[in-house]
Amino acid sequence: MSTRTTPAERRKTSLHFWNTILLLIPLVSIFTIVLGALSLCSNLVDRRGRLAHGCARLWSRLILFVSRTRVNVRGTLPPPGTFVFASNHQSIYDIPILFWSIPRQLRIIAKESLGRIPFMGWHLRLAGHLLVDRDNPGPGIFKRMQRLVADDASLIVFPEGTRSRDGAVARFKGGVFLLAIEHQLPIVPVSVEGSRHIMLKDYVTVCPGRVTVTIHPPVSTAGLTRADARDLAARVKAIVEGSAG
């Protein structure tokens, strides 16, 4: 079977590429600067990061709108409280997709280096996101988790550690599940399907498309110990994998 693209497909790909370069990237830059500045200002009156996350959700909605990404959400959100939402990772678009799809106070675990990026990094620091040196996480992450629980916020994590090229769900690493067990936080498996077609890994081009987000029932960590982290990771992966693609 031939893998050659037709002239019509090449023209369509070229159109999406130039639309990304000339329209989407400038617009997303403007959204990031304006809403990043508003997020920083909000910290003057809200130290818990709730208003800042509101800016992040609006930023997400605008990105999805201008890129013509339609999101269908299935399942039911858990009751109020602090949870660890564990999702598969297909695209750089997963963050705006999940921030908009899950109307909760969400925080992410991100590389420490991201905190040095103007506006975005400043927002991450002040809004209470967990910026971690992956080579030496140290005890600081446990203190930040305690703040997360105190602020009644939830954590969104991508346990694979990297984006999938083909939609297959890779092994879930045990670190975040160890954190959940240490703090006795329930885990909510989340499956994202279709986001890799919006923006493929290592490509700049953004293509319009549909994404399905499935929110599964929470998995309890009550009674589990550190020794159970890997088994818990495998259990959650199996749930996520059942609806991802």
In the chain, DSSP finds a helix count (H) and a strand count (E) of 8, 7
Domain residue ranges in the chain: 7-241
Higher model confidence: residue 146 or residue 65? 65
Q: How do residues 164-202 score in pLDDT, each as one tens digit? A: 888 899 999 988 899 899 999 999 999 999 999 999 888
Whether the predicted model's global pTM rises above the 0.85 cut: yes
- Chain Cα centroid distance, residue 32: 16
Q: Considering only CA atoms, which of 168, 223, 207, 174 is closest in space to residue 191?
A: 168
Q: Which of 108, 109, 78, 68 is nearest to 209 (CA)?
A: 68
The answer to whether 213 and 243 are in contact (CB under 8 A) is: no
Q: Over 80: is that where the pLDDT of 133 sits?
A: no
Give the 3-state secondary structure percentages of the chain, helix then strand then coil, rounded to 5.
Answer: 45, 15, 40
- Predicted confidence (pLDDT) per residue in 205-241, tens digit: 999 999 999 999 999 999 999 999 999 999 999 999 9
The 10 Å Cβ neighbour count of residue 100 is 22
For 18-59, the pLDDT digits (tens) are 999 999 999 999 999 999 899 989 988 988 888 999 999 999
- Cβ atoms of residues 191 and 172 within 8 Å: no
- Average pLDDT of span 90-110: 93
CATH of 7-241, one of 3.20.20, 3.40.50, 1.20.120, 3.40.1130: 3.40.1130
Residue 32 CA neighbour count, 13 Å, CB half = 14
In which region does residue 71 sit, left (phi positive, over 0), alpha (psi from -120 to 50) or beta (all else)?
beta
